[in-house]
Amino acid sequence: MSKKFNIAVDAMGGDNAPEKVLAGINLFFKENKKHDVNFNLYGNESDIKKTINKYKNINKNNSKIIHAPDKVPGNVSVRDAIKLGKKTSMWMSIESVKNGESDIVVSSGNTGALLVISKLILKMIEGLDKPALAGIWPNFKNFSIVLDLGANVECSDKNLVEFSIMGSELYKAIYNKDDVIAGLLNIGSEEIKGNEQIKNAHIKLEESKNLNFNYRGYVEGNEIKNGEVHVIVTDGFTGNIALKTAEGTANFITTEIKQSFSKSFFSKIGYIFSYFAFKEIKKKLDPRRYNGAIFLGLNAPVIKSHGGADAYAFYNSLDLSFRILNGSLINKIKKNFINNNVK
């Protein structure tokens, strides 16, 4: 018999909350009738109750409202977010994981506040220095895990090795695949390329004997899309630039295609014949399908949904949280760091 998972949700985080949160949960139950999941909803009880009744798939048997009188605004500093105290929906949802009332937390709230408060409450896994923000990227074959996407501007070679191990376990948990290939993002494939941190991490990974993945070596930016490497590892500064560049490029392509097919009568006719092909492209590049970045390195998993996520995007972050729990991610990460003495 499978375990019932309890997912804590910051119901007041991000734009259009709690509406989009409840709509996302409703879609989750609609699409996953066999999943044994309970949602702990942290937020203003009055606001949640005003909206929840119109969603038929949410009921008292699968969701519980826990009143949180305050919320963390999206535009406040981390310091001010902490000053708001322990009665915010973000703080209470994270604390429920620490107290064993929930197994994972999902929030569309302030990214910096979520990271700092999560680290403050849940603590780092023993032996790890820094958490990493990991995301799912589409490629020609399927999907890749890319980390760090901005949690750390600077990373040591030890951090990069740790990210490789955590990212590989994340890929296994999400996609139920054991044969994982990981690589370090670099400016070239030659041994002399890269800064000292990358070079030292490369040497450590090549010399390690108990890795939970196959180490590919260096990966250049134009190779990410190929899908030959499942886990791409870099520092948060480089990773965040790569993320924003990829998002901008995807938006440019879809916008340019849309404009090209509306320029003339003949281009519109061409669009009719190409409709299903371009519909598939749009689906592949839809960022809502990949919503949900994961803070790795903490004693419990934390999912950051995009602040502007709609119901479909938020649903995907919930589906991601279920797969992470079902894959026993945190236990496997801890086990790997017992087996790998990273220095």
Q: Is the confidence at residue 185, as pLDDT, over 50? A: yes
Topology classification of domain 133-291 = Isopropylmalate Dehydrogenase (3.40.718)
- pLDDT-derived band at 304, boundaries 50, 70, 90: very high
Per-residue pLDDT reduced to its tens digit, 263-279 = 887 787 877 777 777 77
* Least confident range of 35-39, 187-191, 224-228, 318-322: 187-191
> Where in the sequence of the chain do the CATH 3.40.718.10 domains occur?
1-128+297-326, 133-291
Q: What is the pLDDT of residue 1?
A: 43
pTM: 0.89
Q: Is the confidence at residue 116, as pLDDT, over 90? A: yes
Residue of higher predicted confidence among 288 and 219:
219
Instruction: List beta partners, residue 286.
Output: none
Q: Is the confidence at residue 156, as pLDDT, over 70? A: yes
**Per-residue pLDDT averaged across 244-263, rounded?**
83
Q: Are 47 and 17 in contact (CB under 8 A)?
A: no
Q: What is the pLDDT of residue 103?
A: 96
Per-residue pLDDT reduced to its tens digit, 40-61 = 999 999 999 999 989 999 999 9
56 SS3 class? coil
DSSP assignment of 241-290: HHHHHHHHHHHHHHHHHHHHTTSSHHHHHHHHHHHHHHHHHHHHH-GGGG
* Least confident range of 44-53, 97-106, 152-161, 190-199: 190-199
- The superfamily (CATH) of domain 1-128+297-326 is Isopropylmalate Dehydrogenase (3.40.718.10)
Share above pLDDT 90 across residues of the chain, in percent, rounded to a whole number: 62
Per-residue pLDDT reduced to its tens digit, 63-78 = 999 999 999 988 888 8
Residues 6+ apart with CB under 8 A from 97: 8, 103, 104, 105, 121, 122, 300, 302
Q: Is the confidence at residue 245, as pLDDT, over 70? A: yes
Cα angle: 308, vertex 327, 126; to 5 degrees: 85
- pLDDT-derived band at 11, boundaries 50, 70, 90: very high
Q: Are 147 and 296 in contact (CB under 8 A)?
A: yes
- pLDDT-derived band at 343, boundaries 50, 70, 90: low
For 337, the token pair is 């760091």
The mean pLDDT value of the chain amounts to: 90
Residues 6+ apart with CB under 8 A from 272: none
